[in-house]
Amino acid sequence: MVLATNLGYPRIGPKRELKRALESFWAGTSTALELEAAGRELRVSHWRLQQECGLQHIPSNDFSLYDHVLDTTAMVGAIPDRFGWDGAQVDVATYFAMARGAAAVPALEMTKWFDTNYHYMVPEFEPGQRFRLASTKPVDEYQEAQDVGIHTRPKLLGPVSYLLLGKWRHDAPADGREPLILLDALLPVYEEVLGQLADAGADWVQMDEPALVLDVPAAARDALTAAYTKLSAVSPRLRLLLTTYFGDLRENLDAVLALPLAGVHLDLVRAPQLLERALASLPASFALSLGLVDGRNVWRTDLDRTLTLLERAVATLGSERVLVAPSCSLLHVPVDLAGESGLDPELRSWLSFANQKLEELALLARAANEGRGSVAAALRERREAHDSRRRSERTRSPAVRERAEAVTAEMLFRTSAYPQRRPQQRARLPLPSFPTTTIGSFPQTPEVRRARAQFRSGRLEASQYDRFLEAEIERTIRFQEEIGLDVVVHGECERTDMVEYFGERLNGVAVTTAGWVQSYGSRCARPPIIFGDVSRPEPLTVRWSRYAQSLTSRPVKGMLTGPVTILQWSFVRDDQPRSETARQIALALRDEVQELEAAGFAIMQIDEPALREGLPLRRDEWDAYLAWAVDAFRLAAAGVRDETQIHTHMCYGEFNDIIDAIARLDADVISIEASRSQMELLDAFARFRYPNEIGLGVYDIHSPQVPSVDEMERLLRKALTVLSPEQLWVNPDCGLKTRGWEEVQASVTGMVEAAKRLRKG
Ligand code: GLN
Ligand code: ZN
């Protein structure tokens, strides 16, 4: 029998119950016991729901109070010394200290989970790292499910991926070796956990090894063999399913198929070509878990097509060896479509969130087991929805398509090259040397959020809300004037989120009311859904920027989110290449940029913080991506006159390896995160002469710490060892939205002071 299975269910809860529980615990208004009870309630309801849907393999240990990589760090006791952990079971305080930092103890680093918008806490190792079992969470949660009568498939992050996702402590010399050398020390803990799971009655265990879709060193394949030879010997009753997702295993597939496993899971949404390879060489002892339902996007599955693949697998392997699954954990999609009554009914009929995907999985298994006829009505209904999407006028705008096709190479170029633009911009904008500016947003205080919520729920009239925003903008402008910033901004108080704001205003894009997806810890985002051809029905931002400019004689910078970032932080249509969608968004933004120019703005900033994270997981695919991503940015930016200055901004991650692509954006000025890494980025500029102007962030806005003027001056002088004085701007690392006014006042005043010191020589 083909089994319907799941790889992971969203943890946050249909109403973000986990967020509430966490934040009230952190605020001290609830106890650890209450938090634990809230977690348990979510887990149990998620298991029941999956059981009711008819799933046969239901995951446990997919829940987490913060992050599953952090859970693994707790499980194996890899707690860095600074957390002062005493060696027993990791307690909640230590756990959250690692996640969020504690008095003067910095948190673990956080970074993106593969190419998703989920962030994990990076494991931190030291040479000679010791491991020991320090959390029984996997076994506890398995038992917890047993206690409510549900047999689950426990899920662990596999040891090879765990090590590959970690890094050495900053000051720990590792002589160029990889953390993989810690494998032998790590494995006994995994053996212990698997032994406990076997004793508790588990049979199938899901071992996630997503790192196998990356370019891993050859040593990783040896590590894999060493690890799974050991782990599969722990207990004859355990059946290890090695799960991979987010891409093709390529050269790692053969290594996986040679392991003593009970089965392997492949992401056939991202890598459909894997199916034939696997069917041709799957060992007779292996089951195959087919990742057929897209865990990364919100579209309904094309069941006819998918069933054909499933039937093909059953014909080759027999139904006993086939599992049907989502491509990856459902962590990356919203929980339930049922609450989205505000969506247009036709669009809604095309969508599938986590709960709908569970139904699809059950349907697929049933069709494979009992024949398509047994679910004919459901198949028909879905086929109709699918056809309606394919045929819908709503997804296609002839005007947009015509325009996108007519894009010429000239449209990607400014009239003149930067050296000619520069004097014209200087003439138009008399700025001091080392000009100061910010990245765009100013504190989004509880009052701002309250006013927005009141407006959305109809408790505040539009005109009242507008007055509120005007007052907020005025306060922001006055603040910047007083502090002496050279280029000012309106502060972005009207935007909840830099992508959602544009999503709400563009044709072809829908937003949800509760389509929350976990970003990190208790933080969630509601990614917009790009379902059709994108265009701009009316100006998106001009009004507030213009209002800001009416209040001041200083240059106001118009603020836009770039095409790649809008794409990257949305659910994107899957019926055309991403590059095509990016081009349409770019054209809409191009109009906005030109409109701002016509309204008199001399500076526009087009943020692309997500440019880097859009990089494909495999290096040999980078160039193709960067080519269209850079073009999309240029298409948005290049329609302005020479004397108009285009800025861009980037943060999150390392930029050293894409610095030439960043230069190809041909922005007049780029502001980029640098203070957190102590200007590590400068190494790249030492090797590569960045041609245009650049602001390296001197104020780490992720920290509540107010940096001293001396410290900021030191960073700037460090930058001047590599950059020329004419190139350098002075700005924070990123927007100030999450900070309070008081710290912003102190930090930004200091920043302006540091720039003044530089001007004195
Ligand atoms: N302009 C945005 C802001 O200041 C940029 C945010 C970002 O880079 N993530 O908030
Ligand atoms: Zn930023």
**Beta carbon of 607 within 6 Å of any ligand 1 atom:** yes
- In this predicted structure, the answer to whether residue 268 has a pLDDT above a threshold of 80 is yes
Stretch 153-168: mean pLDDT, rounded?
97
For residue 701, the CA-to-ligand 2 centroid distance in Å is: 9
State pLDDT tens for residues 592-651: 999 999 999 999 999 999 999 899 999 999 999 999 999 999 999 999 999 999 999 998
Which atom of ligand 1 is found nearest the CA of 605? 1
pLDDT given for residue 86 in this prediction: 82
Which ligand number lies closest to the CA of residue 442?
1
State pLDDT tens for residues 218-254: 999 999 999 999 999 999 999 999 999 999 999 999 9
Q: Which two structure tokens, joined as six digits, stand for 273?
A: 């070509």
For ligand 1, atom 9, name the residue with the nearest CA.
609
Which atom of ligand 1 is found nearest the CA of 559? 1
For ligand 1, atom 6, name the residue with the nearest CA.
735
**Beta carbon of 557 within 6 Å of any ligand 1 atom:** no
**Beta carbon of 439 within 6 Å of any ligand 1 atom:** yes
pLDDT given for residue 679 in this prediction: 83
Instruction: Look at the block and give the residue holding tokens 């240990």.
Output: 61
Which ligand number lies closest to the CA of residue 734?
2
Helix (H, G, I), strand (E, B) or coil at 535: strand
The rounded mean pLDDT for the chain is 96
pLDDT given for residue 659 in this prediction: 93
Using the Cα atoms of residue 456, residue 461, residue 462 and residue 465 in order, give the sign of their dihedral.
Answer: negative
Which atom of ligand 1 is found nearest the CA of 439? 4
pLDDT given for residue 1 in this prediction: 96
CA–CA dist 332, 543 (Å, integer)? 35
Helix (H, G, I), strand (E, B) or coil at 495: coil
Which atom of ligand 1 is found nearest the CA of 735? 4
- In this predicted structure, the answer to whether residue 681 has a pLDDT above a threshold of 90 is no
For residue 531, the CA-to-ligand 2 centroid distance in Å is: 27
* Cα angle 233, 238, 240; round to 5: 85
For ligand 1, atom 1, name the residue with the nearest CA.
440
702 is catalytic: yes
State pLDDT tens for residues 40-89: 999 999 999 999 999 999 999 999 999 999 999 999 999 999 999 987 89
For residue 649, the CA-to-ligand 2 centroid distance in Å is: 6
**Beta carbon of 443 within 6 Å of any ligand 1 atom:** no
pLDDT given for residue 744 in this prediction: 97
For ligand 1, atom 3, name the residue with the nearest CA.
735
- In this predicted structure, the answer to whether residue 725 has a pLDDT above a threshold of 90 is yes
**Beta carbon of 734 within 6 Å of any ligand 1 atom:** yes
Q: What percent helix, strand, coil does the chain show, rounded to 5?
A: 50, 15, 40
State pLDDT tens for residues 548-569: 999 999 999 999 999 999 999 9
pLDDT given for residue 467 in this prediction: 97
**Beta carbon of 414 within 6 Å of any ligand 1 atom:** no
For residue 461, the CA-to-ligand 2 centroid distance in Å is: 32
**410 pLDDT tier (thresholds 50, 70, 90):** very high
pLDDT given for residue 675 in this prediction: 83
CA–CA dist 194, 155 (Å, integer)? 11
Mutate to test the pocket of ligand 1, among 485, 497, 605, 607 (most ligand atoms within 8 A of CB): 607
- In this predicted structure, the answer to whether residue 106 has a pLDDT above a threshold of 90 is no
pLDDT given for residue 175 in this prediction: 73
Which atom of ligand 1 is found nearest the CA of 498? 2
**Beta carbon of 253 within 6 Å of any ligand 1 atom:** no
Which ligand number lies closest to the CA of residue 607?
1
Q: Are the CB atoms for 699 and 707 separated by under 8 Å?
A: yes
CA–CA dist 447, 451 (Å, integer)? 6
State pLDDT tens for residues 516-537: 999 999 999 999 999 999 999 9
Q: Which two structure tokens, joined as six digits, stand for 127?
A: 């040479």
Q: Are the CB atoms for 679 and 697 separated by under 8 Å?
A: no
**Residues of the chain with pLDDT > 70: what percent?**
100
**Beta carbon of 264 within 6 Å of any ligand 1 atom:** no
- In this predicted structure, the answer to whether residue 146 has a pLDDT above a threshold of 80 is yes
For residue 499, the CA-to-ligand 1 centroid distance in Å is: 10
For residue 673, the CA-to-ligand 2 centroid distance in Å is: 7
Q: Which two structure tokens, joined as six digits, stand for 672?
A: 């980029």
Stretch 24-46: mean pLDDT, rounded?
98
pLDDT given for residue 339 in this prediction: 86
Which atom of ligand 1 is found nearest the CA of 438? 4
- In this predicted structure, the answer to whether residue 683 has a pLDDT above a threshold of 80 is yes
Mutate to test the pocket of ligand 1, among 489, 519, 734 (most ligand atoms within 8 A of CB): 734
- In this predicted structure, the answer to whether residue 761 has a pLDDT above a threshold of 90 is no
CA–CA dist 184, 187 (Å, integer)? 6
- In this predicted structure, the answer to whether residue 104 has a pLDDT above a threshold of 90 is no
Edge-first strand listing for the sheet containing 58-60? 3-4, 322-326, 287-293, 263-267, 239-243, 204-208, 152-157, 58-60
Which ligand number lies closest to the CA of residue 653?
2
CA–CA dist 390, 386 (Å, integer)? 6
- In this predicted structure, the answer to whether residue 174 has a pLDDT above a threshold of 80 is no
E strands in 573-643: 603-607
- In this predicted structure, the answer to whether residue 173 has a pLDDT above a threshold of 80 is no
- In this predicted structure, the answer to whether residue 103 has a pLDDT above a threshold of 80 is yes
**Beta carbon of 440 within 6 Å of any ligand 1 atom:** yes
pLDDT given for residue 718 in this prediction: 94
Helix (H, G, I), strand (E, B) or coil at 189: helix
pLDDT given for residue 440 in this prediction: 98
For residue 69, the CA-to-ligand 1 centroid distance in Å is: 27
State pLDDT tens for residues 459-504: 999 999 999 999 999 999 999 999 999 999 999 999 989 999 999 9
Which ligand number lies closest to the CA of residue 559?
1
- In this predicted structure, the answer to whether residue 215 has a pLDDT above a threshold of 80 is yes
Stretch 504-518: mean pLDDT, rounded?
97
Active-site residue (options: 151, 170, 332, 702): 702
- Let me know how long the chain is: 761
**720 pLDDT tier (thresholds 50, 70, 90):** very high
Q: Which residues pair with 572 in a beta bridge?
A: 530
Which atom of ligand 1 is found nearest the CA of 441? 4
Which ligand number lies closest to the CA of residue 695?
2
pLDDT given for residue 5 in this prediction: 98
Between 5 and 109, the more confident residue is: 5
For residue 736, the CA-to-ligand 1 centroid distance in Å is: 8
State pLDDT tens for residues 380-399: 999 999 999 999 989 999 99
For residue 434, the CA-to-ligand 1 centroid distance in Å is: 21
**Beta carbon of 609 within 6 Å of any ligand 1 atom:** yes
For residue 440, the CA-to-ligand 1 centroid distance in Å is: 6
State pLDDT tens for residues 685-696: 888 889 999 999
How distant is the alpha carbon of residue 259 from its chain centre? 32
Q: Is 128 exposed, middle or buried (0-12, 13-18, 19+ CB in 10 A)?
A: exposed
Which atom of ligand 1 is found nearest the CA of 609? 8
